[in-house]
Amino acid sequence: MARTQYRGARRRLAAAALASTAALVLSACGGGGAQTQAAGSPTESGSSVAGETATLVSIQPVNDKGVMQDFVAGFEAATKEVNMESNVVVLTDPSTYESTLESVSGRSDLVFTTFPPMIQAVEKVAPKHEDTRYVLLDARLSEPIDNVQELFFRENESSYLAGIVAGEMTEANKVGFLGAIKQDVIDRYLVGFHAGVKSVDPDIKVCFAYVGALNDPALGKQFANTMYNQGVDIIHAATAGTQVGVYQAAEEQEKFLISADVDVRPLAPNFGLTATGPDFSGAAKLAVEQYAAGDFESGLQVYGLADGAVRILPFNDDLVSAEVQQKVEEAKQQIIDGSIKVPDDKSVGDIKNCA
Tens digit of each residue's pLDDT (9 = 90 or more) over 164-210: 999 999 999 999 999 999 998 899 999 999 999 999 999 999 999 99
DSSP string, 204-243: SEEEEEE-S-SS-HHHHHHHHHHHHHTT--EEEEE-GGGH
As for how many domains the chain has, the answer is 2
313 falls within a domain: no
Average pLDDT value for residue range 100-109: 96
Distance CA 32, CA 72 (A): 22
What's the domain range around 116? 3-153+280-307
> Residues for the chain: how many in total?
355
Instruction: Please check whether residue 206 is in contact with residue 194, taking contact to mean a CB–CB distance below 8 angstroms.
Output: yes
Same domain, 18 and 35: yes
Q: Does the residue 299 lie in any domain?
A: yes
Mark whether 220 and 127 lie in a shared domain: no
**pLDDT 10s digits, 21-72:** 333 333 333 344 566 555 544 433 445 688 899 999 999 888 877 788 889 9
- Within 14-72, strands assigned E span 34-40, 53-58
Q: What is the dihedral of CA 136, 142, 143, 145, to 10 degrees?
A: -30
- Residue 108 belongs to a domain: yes
pLDDT of residue 35: 60
pTM of the model: 0.78
- What percentage of the chain carries pLDDT values higher than 90? 73
Does a structural domain hold residue 53? yes
* Same domain assignment for residues 111 and 68: yes
The DSSP call for residue 351 is: P
Query: Is 19 part of any domain?
Result: yes
Is residue 314 one of the residues assigned to a domain?
A: no
Same domain, 194 and 332: yes
Which residue, 116, 74, 88, is CA-closest to 262? 74
Q: Does residue 355 lie in a domain region?
A: no
Q: What is the average pLDDT value for the chain, to the nearest integer?
A: 87
Asked if 78 and 124 sit in the same domain, the reply is: yes
CB-CB contact of 174 with 207 (8 Å): yes
Q: Across-strand partners of 125?
A: none
Residue 308: predicted pLDDT = 85
pLDDT of residue 26: 35
Considering the domain architecture, whether residues 135 and 51 belong to the same structural domain is answered as yes
Q: pLDDT at position 192, please?
A: 98
Residues 143 and 192 in one domain: no
218 lies in the same domain as 69: no
Instruction: Provide the CATH number for the domain around residue 293.
Output: 3.40.50.2300
Q: Is residue 216 located within the same domain as residue 192?
A: yes
Residue 11's pLDDT is 37
> CB-based contacts of 107: which residues, under 8 Å, 6+ apart?
13, 14, 16, 17, 18, 21, 24, 53
pLDDT of residue 36: 54
% residues pLDDT > 70 (the chain)? 86
Q: Which of 167-176, 216-225, 263-272 has the weakest average pLDDT?
A: 263-272
Mean pLDDT computed over 325-347: 97
**Statement to judge: residues 51 and 193 lie in one domain:** no
Assign 3-class secondary structure to 295-307: CCCCEEEEECHHH
Round to whole Å and give the CA distance between 127 and 19. Answer: 26
Q: Are residues 75 and 208 in the same domain?
A: no
Do residues 58 and 183 share a domain?
no
List, in order, residues 6 or more apart from 225 with CB less than 8 Å away.
249, 253
